[in-house]
Amino acid sequence: MKIGVDFDGVICCFTSLLSRAEGIAYFLLKIPIFGWFINFFRFPNRGVIAAIRYLIKNGHEIVIITANPPEQEWLIKRWLQRYGLEVPIILKKEAKTRTAQWKLKVVQEMGIDILIDDNPHVLNYVQRFGIKGFLPEQIKGLLG
């Protein structure tokens, strides 16, 4: 099975300070020095990381689908490597496209069966097109 997983809010979480300033954090992520700084405030969601490792071990394909800007690819790869995850990353290059529409397009083009995302709006949108979608808290109990 091919599974798409969101990055921020699913695999990692920001500190509460940056979560409150999400729009500002997203803007700052486009500036390399600030992106590097913000990366230190991303904390692992250990339950989701364990679930991803379990899924990979059992033959499932995982793809990170994130609305982070392309400038952050190297930071995200580095962060994932720190937690032992070597998976493909798809970043949002179409700034004017709404995130839900962009994620649906990626999911359909890549033949992804399930999307795990922390944004209920994104999940509701992709589910209207027949894609199974789950919030991170819905998958924690499924595997262990």
Q: Is the dihedral of CA 5, 86, 28, 39 positive or negative?
A: positive
Its pTM stands at: 0.82
**Hey, what are 32's tokens?**
């390399």
CATH of domain 2-13+44-140: 3.40.50.1000
Model confidence pLDDT, tens digit, residues 104-144: 999 999 999 999 999 999 999 999 999 999 998 887 655 54
Model confidence pLDDT, tens digit, residues 38-64: 556 678 888 889 989 999 999 999 999
